[in-house]
């Protein structure tokens, strides 16, 4: 599967999911997570080979666009014939996100779904297990209090709401999984 197909499929998925993600984000943040992601993905799907993650970062703008861009950068490398494993690629994005965002597992963020997914891949359990782990991580964010970002300041630090970043990680890995199984 090519990176191009991956970005086209992800753009199509976010076209459908945009409103739902904006609604999730409205409960604990700016309410624009879906729109921001779709704006980046639309640019990525149009960009030349090897430039898709860069185009995503440019178009989505802002800190969360950069952090998701780091995940998409690794997936782009993986799908463009990198010799490193998918686990190694996603591990690198996870470590970068944790360092830059000063965020750890349990803080109610994208890391809560990305970290378990990467751990599953590291354990050799395959992409399907990684998606399942990410999904469980996403659901766990519902009971967590936010420790980073705007969600800290909303009622009860966002308890009762799923983190939109964690939800997005599941969407991205879901599309990747569908394609990996065809490879």
Partner 1 sequence: MKKLFNSQERMVDDMIDGFVAVYPQVKRGENDSRIVVRRQPKDSDAKVTLLIGNGSGHEPIAMGFVGEGLLDANVVGDVFAAPSADLILDGIAEVCGAAGSILLISQHSGDVINGGAAAMLAEEAGHTVRPLFMYDDISSAPKGEETERRGAPGTMFIYKILGAAAEEGMALGPLFELGEAVRDNTRTLAAAVSPGISPLTGKAMFSLPDDEIYLGMGVHGEPGIGKAKYGPVSGLVETMVEALLDDRPVPAGDAVAVIVNGMGGTTLMELLTVYRETETALKARGLSAVAPMVGTYVTTQEMGGFSISLLTPTAEMLRLWCAPSDTPHFPAIKRD
Residues in touch with partner 1 (CB under 8 A) = 53-55, 57-58, 60-63, 65-67, 69-70, 73, 96, 99-101
Q: Please state, in angstroms and rounded to a whole number, the distance separating the CA atoms of residues 93 and 47.
A: 21
Cβ proximity to partner 1, 63 vs 123, nearer residue: 63
Q: How far is the CB of 73 from partner 1 (least distance, A)?
A: 7
Q: How far is the CB of 102 from partner 1 (least distance, A)?
A: 9
Q: How far is the CB of 82 from partner 1 (least distance, A)?
A: 12
Cβ proximity to partner 1, 135 vs 168, nearer residue: 168
Cβ proximity to partner 1, 58 vs 147, nearer residue: 58
CA angle 35, 50, 33 (to 5 degrees): 15
Q: Please state, in angstroms and rounded to a whole number, the distance separating the CA atoms of residues 32 and 117.
A: 25
CB-based burial of residue 112 (10 Å sphere; 0-12 exposed, 13-18 middle, 19+ buried)?
Answer: buried
Q: How far is the CB of 150 from partner 1 (least distance, A)?
A: 11
Q: Please state, in angstroms and rounded to a whole number, the distance separating the CA atoms of residues 133 and 173.
A: 11
Is-contact 154 24, C-beta < 8 A? no
Cβ proximity to partner 1, 53 vs 132, nearer residue: 53
Beta-carbon contacts of residue 46 (< 8 Å; ≥ 6 apart): 55
Q: How far is the CB of 57 from partner 1 (least distance, A)?
A: 4
Cβ proximity to partner 1, 50 vs 160, nearer residue: 50
For residue 180, give the H/E element and its range: helix 164-182
């Amino acid at each position: 599967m090519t990176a191009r197909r991956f970005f086209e499929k992800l753009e199509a998925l976010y076209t459908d999911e945009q409103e739902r993600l904006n609604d999730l984000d409205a409960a604990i943040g700016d309410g624009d997570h879906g729109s921001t992601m779709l704006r980046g993905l639309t640019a990525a799907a149009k960009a030349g080979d090897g430039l898709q993650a860069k185009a995503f970062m440019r178009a989505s703008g802002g800190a969360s666009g950069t952090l998701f861009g780091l995940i998409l950068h690794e997936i782009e490398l993986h799908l463009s014939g990198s010799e490193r494993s998918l686990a190694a690629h996603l591990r690198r994005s996870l470590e970068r996100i944790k360092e830059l965002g000063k965020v750890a597992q349990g803080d109610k963020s994208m890391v809560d779904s990305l970290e378990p997914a990467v751990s599953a891949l590291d354990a050799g359990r395959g992409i399907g297990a990684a998606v399942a782990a990410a999904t469980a991580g996403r659901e766990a964010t519902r009971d967590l209090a936010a420790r980073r970002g705007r969600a800290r300041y909303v009622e009860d630090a966002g308890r009762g709401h799923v983190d939109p970043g964690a939800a997005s990680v599941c969407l991205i890995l879901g599309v990747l999984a569908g394609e990996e199984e065809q490879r």
